[in-house]
Amino acid sequence: EFTELLGGVIAVTEAPGGGSLFQVELPLEPSPREEPANDSREITGSWSVPPIMTALAELTEPAHVTTHAQAPESAPRILVMEDNPDMRRFICDALCTEFRVDEAAEGQCALEVATASPPDLLVTDLMLPRLGGDRLVAALRTIPPIRDIPVLVLSAKDDAMLRARLLAGAAQDYVTKPFSAQELRARVRNLVTMKRARDDLQRELLSQSNDLAELTRNLIDNRRALQASEHRWWAI
């Protein structure tokens, strides 16, 4: 409506990285359409194009993922999913010195990023646009490469039944807002430590399984060689 009042146009296309891209064009000079003779509406006050364009750009910013690279490359990688910019900044600032942090403002984008490059932990808000936190976690558990990623759910709802349902289903931890940076780091650290310990155990079991398979093959080959030798001896 504001775009039409200013004589501009707005178009919606698909963003290169996914999501929607809103393009707004506004004239530098007021359009004659803004002052029709039979229009009883009156617009008072002053305005300037740059602030309006800035506000619209902020409201229609396409979904994307930002990476914080303060932590070393060997640090665990955390994917933060939070649509509120201030809360997302607080979470990333609390974690980025100890962990590599990727941030996303929209659930579908976070799911695509997690699938392409699985993180060590997903920290997600419960109330999200397009794809809510509970649906995001449910979708996560259906994709084999990322279904075992631990999930920390953030919510402003202090709902015991909701907490129990999520913890019994797909989430590993549930934190009620507001929370301190120290508490968040401690919970994230615990989940990442358990995840990496589990990964190490799985690799060790896989290695032992491979060693056992190799030992079995060697025993079979040796037995066959022994049987062949016995046949040759009896043939003499």
> Which domain, by its residues, includes 12?
2-36+48-59
Are 56 and 6 spatial neighbours (Cβ–Cβ below 8 Å)?
A: no
For the purposes of burial, counting CB atoms within 10 Å of the CB of 57, is it exposed (0-12), middle (13-18) or buried (19 or more)?
A: exposed
Number of domains in the chain: 2
Specify if 145 maps to a domain.
Answer: yes
Shared domain for 78 and 116, answered yes or no, is: yes
Q: Based on the domain organization, do 55 and 114 belong to the same domain? A: no
* Chain position carrying tokens 């080959």: 221
Structure-block tokens of residue 188: 């994230």
**CA distances in angstroms from 104 to 2, 67, 90, 148, 158, listed in the order given:** 29, 9, 13, 20, 24
In a domain, 136, yes or no: yes
pLDDT in tens, the chain (236 residues): 556 666 777 776 766 766 667 777 777 765 454 444 444 444 344 434 344 444 334 444 444 556 655 677 889 999 998 988 999 999 999 999 999 999 888 777 778 888 888 899 999 988 877 777 777 778 878 888 788 889 999 988 888 888 888 888 788 999 999 999 999 999 999 999 998 888 888 777 777 766 666 667 777 776 777 666 666 666 66
Domain co-membership, 52 together with 83: no
